[in-house]
Amino acid sequence: MGYYGTRTGSSSQLAILTPNQRENIIRKERERRRLIRHVGSKFCRYQQVRQLSAENAAKIRERVKIAKQKKMEELRKRITDAIVQRNHLTSSGVLSPVHIDSNTLPTETPRRSRRSQITREELARAVHRHREALSRLRRENEREQRRRELILERRRKAREVANVRSRRI
């Protein structure tokens, strides 16, 4: 196993014990130290495993971060190229309405482009509908307010009648 040195004070205490007691104490002390070494090495292994797994996780996070950055850079480059190409084509007049074939245009225009092509007549009708809706809403609010005031007035009159009756009695 290994050599375990004893201090001078402890050897004098062992001298007064019987040989069997001394052997038992030495055996127990060796077992205790062995267990401490064993548990300590397990703890060190556990720490090593934790440290390795933390390092691996950090490496994985770093790889994912780098991959995301590469994808973002690639996407940014593609978008920039598309914008530059579109600007170049529109500035050079390649995409002017004169040169576009009517067969290449989509049959159904996107919603955004339809919304931007509101005519003056449609705009006037929309403004008229808006004004009508506001006046209808105003009338409904006034009607509701009158109803509330009528209810409050009735309650006030009923309270006054009850007060008059209670004074008579």
Q: What is the pLDDT of residues 29-50, one digit of tens each?
A: 999 888 877 776 666 666 777 7
Classify residue 142: in a domain, yes or no: yes
Give the integer Cα–Cα distance in Å for 95 and 76.
24
Whether 89 and 95 have beta carbons less than 8 Å apart is answered as yes
94-108 residue pLDDT tens = 555 555 555 555 555
Has this prediction a pTM greater than 0.85? no
* pLDDT higher at 165 or 12: 165
Query: Per the structure, how many domains does the chain have?
Result: 1
Classify residue 98: in a domain, yes or no: no
Give the integer Cα–Cα distance in Å for 22 and 11.
10
> Looking at residue 88, what is its pLDDT?
75
Average of per-residue pLDDT across 124-136: 93
Does 65 have pLDDT greater than 90? Answer: yes
The range of the structural domain enclosing residue 123 comes to: 119-169
Classify residue 15: in a domain, yes or no: no
> Looking at residue 1, what is its pLDDT?
46
Question: Residue 74: pLDDT band by 50, 70, 90 thresholds?
Answer: very high
Task: Read off the tokens for 115.
Answer: 């919304």
User: Comparing C-alpha atoms, which of 27, 5, 25 is closest to residue 15?
Assistant: 25
